[in-house]
Amino acid sequence: MKSSELFETAKTLIPGGVSSPVRAIKPYPFYTKRAEGSKIYTEDGDSLIDCCMGYGPLLLGHAHPFVKSAIKDQLDNGWLFGTPAEAEIKLAKIVTGDHPSMDMCRFVSSGSEATMAAIRLARGYSGKKDIIKVEGGFHGAHDGVLIQAGSGATTMGVPDSAGVIPEIVSHTAQVPYNDIESLENLLAKNNNVAAFIIEPVMGNIGPILPEDGYLKEVRKITEENDVLLICDEVICGYRLGIGGAQVKYDIKPDITTLGKIVGGGLPIGVFGGRREIMEMVAPAGPVYQAGTFSGNPLTLASGIAMLNYIHDNSRLYERLDGYTKIIHESLPEKYRDSFVRLGSIFKLFFREKPPKNYVQAKESNTEKYADFWKKMLQSGVFLPPSQFETNFVSAAHTEEDIEYISGAYNKCL
């Protein structure tokens, strides 16, 4: 069946016809039949070079043979035990080994679950009630962080969701990204702050990079004010390199959240940190956290394969950085200044300069982006449909793909 027909039926069964709002492309989304390497093959018979990559997890591309083989091997041994399995120790060893700030970690099934648990843990550990987040930061779709939230919430115009009780978000304060003074001022007025949660490199209002020294200042100020620092590295983790943003920018958060790449493409979330904090988590301590599918064997197998592959082929990060450099340098000159890239992440903003924060990101011309996005799709390149989502390249992209993507940017701009 064609995508348009599938969507007509989907709308009668699933709200908005989609399982996540970011997929709601107008007039209808294309339906994917199969995906392999850098390509998506649609129900309409099209083949597309994918720069969305499952919104980030697919660092090695779709259906990577090494990860696939690990998943297949696990399938033969069962895919849900409801008991501990050795694989979770193996994955925990890799993840904690790669992040000097993490002595221990716990596996959950999504990034949302990870940040929800991390915030509860920060409150349980500190005995304080409030949290601070960054305007436009997206930490998943749970109540305490759905305030000026990025990603689909901003794209759809619902950054403050209906159904979230005001009393809950009254405990969530906000500061602009790249603005130390606002953070200092807020902390000077409030000594009931349990944690500051931040995407070290903003990824859900398009990529926005930290200004020089910003993250180190954030670490210093939070420490001085006895506020836990939660680095939400759901996108950055293993995307910016092994150890994510915290290793790249040399900061040591108290708690880290991970997801996406760590599961090799299967559902995962991770939260971890210093031993004394993590030992507050049930059953070791009084902060309750649980999940039927947490640490499920299929995800563990896929995650271990993914991370082992990355360790054995860590030069892939240089190759991917080279890819986004090629795309950047091949742009028509007038667009080069508003193109942001860091390693394998990139985005062209439809404004004069790269934004520094949420207010500036929202000044981008989203109508122009939508028009450009459509032309790119017609040219055979699938970018995330929103100005406010990050584009990704993967290790499965070939030099020919990158040449093609660069050509398409030039043609469509």
Ligand X SMILES: NCC(=O)CCC(=O)O
Ligand Y SMILES: Cc1ncc(COP(=O)(O)O)c(C=O)c1O
User: Nearest approach, Cβ of 152 to ligand X (angstroms)?
Assistant: 6
Q: Give yes or no for a cis peptide into 21 (omega within 30° of 0).
A: no
Q: Which does 393 bind (CB under 5 to 8 A by kind): ligand Y, ligand X, none?
A: none
Going by C-alpha positions, the residue among 378, 352, 368 that lies closest to residue 413 is: 368
CB proximity list for 266: less than 8 A, separation 6 or greater: 71, 298, 299, 302, 303
Interface pick for ligand X out of 28, 55, 125, 372 (rule CB under 6 A)? 55
Q: Which does 110 bind (CB under 5 to 8 A by kind): ligand Y, ligand X, none?
A: ligand Y
Interface pick for ligand X out of 152, 200, 297, 355 (rule CB under 6 A)? 152
Contact 67, 305 (CB under 8 A): yes
Alpha-carbon distance of 334 to 31, in angstroms, equals 35
Going by C-alpha positions, the residue among 337, 341, 342 that lies closest to residue 350 is: 337
Which residues are near ligand Y by CB under 6 A? 110-112, 115, 138-140, 199, 203-204, 232, 234-235, 259, 269
151 sits near ligand X (criterion: CB under 6 A)? yes
57 sits near ligand X (criterion: CB under 6 A)? no
Q: Which does 170 bind (CB under 5 to 8 A by kind): ligand Y, ligand X, none?
A: none
Return the number of the residue (55 or 369) whose C-beta is nearest ligand X.
55
Grouping H, G, I as helix, E, B as strand and the rest as coil, residue 238 is: coil
178 sits near ligand X (criterion: CB under 6 A)? no
22 sits near ligand X (criterion: CB under 6 A)? yes
Q: Which does 391 bind (CB under 5 to 8 A by kind): ligand X, ligand Y, none?
A: none
Going by C-alpha positions, the residue among 134, 181, 195 that lies closest to residue 361 is: 134
Q: Which of residues 131-150 bind ligand X (CB under 6 A)?
A: 138
Task: Find the helix packing angle between 214-224 and 180-189, rounded to 10°.
Answer: 10
Q: H helices within 55-213, ranges in order?
A: 65-75, 86-98, 111-126, 152-155, 166-169, 180-189
Q: Which does 135 bind (CB under 5 to 8 A by kind): ligand Y, ligand X, none?
A: none
20 sits near ligand X (criterion: CB under 6 A)? yes
Q: Which residues bind ligand X (CB under 6 A)?
A: 20, 22, 55, 138, 151-152, 204, 389
